[in-house]
């Protein structure tokens, strides 16, 4: 089945220790998104790639970076995680062939910062 995969599902890191979360997709979608979702809150868009074009949200901290080496994979790098970065990180994809294509989400990675 075509899908969005996120690894790992649970990640524990230490305060200030860089961490990378990964997302892959078999849908061959053009657009990949990263969202941060804190407890009892709605998902918040951090950035997205339309193909190789990177689009950062204005309020995304510099501590968060992303890489998309090919169509299938996208990574979220947190350079120096703080306690406030503990959250669920959701990856999503969409075709990007028209406005407001449906976004399909992966299962998420729950990040704990000690």
Partner 1 sequence: AQKVTQAQTEISVVEKEDVTLDCVYETRDTTYYLFWYKQPPSGELVFLIRRNSFDEQNEISGRYSWNFQKSTSSFNFTITASQVVDSAVYFCALSEASSSNTGKLIFGQGTTLQVKP
Instruction: Return the residue of 81, 103, 111, 113 that touches partner 1, per CB under 8 A.
Output: 103
Count CB atoms within 10 A of the CB of residue 100: 6
If the CB atoms of residues 81 and 108 are measured against partner 1, the closer one turns out to be 108
Question: SS3 helix, strand, coil % of the chain, rounded to 5?
Answer: 5, 50, 45
Alpha-carbon gap, residue 102 to 33, rounded angstroms = 12
If the CB atoms of residues 17 and 52 are measured against partner 1, the closer one turns out to be 52
Residues of this chain, 64-83, that bind partner 1 according to CB under 8 A? none
Residue 85 CB contacts under 8 Å (≥ 6 apart), including other chains = 36, 63, 78, 111, 113
If one asks whether residue 58 binds partner 1 (CB under 8 A), the answer comes out as no
3 state SS of 25 = strand
Q: Of 19-27, 58-66, 68-76, 101-109, which segment contacts partner 1 by CB under 8 A?
A: 101-109
Residues near partner 1, by CB under 8 A:
31, 40-43, 45, 48, 50, 55, 88, 90, 92, 94, 96, 98-108, 110
């Amino acid at each position: 089945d075509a899908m969005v995969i996120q690894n790992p599902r649970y990640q524990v890191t230490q305060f200030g220790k860089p961490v990378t979360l990964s997302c892959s997709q078999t849908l061959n979608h053009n657009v990949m998104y990263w969202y941060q979702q804190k407890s009892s809150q709605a998902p918040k868009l951090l950035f997205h790639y339309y193909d190789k074009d990177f689009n950062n949200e204005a309020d995304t901290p510099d501590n968060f970076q992303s890489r998309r080496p090919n169509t299938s994979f996208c990574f979220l790098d947190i350079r120096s995680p703080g306690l406030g970065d503990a959250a669920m990180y959701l990856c999503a994809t969409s075709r990007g062939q028209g406005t407001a294509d449906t976004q399909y989400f992966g299962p998420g990675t729950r990040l704990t910062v000690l």
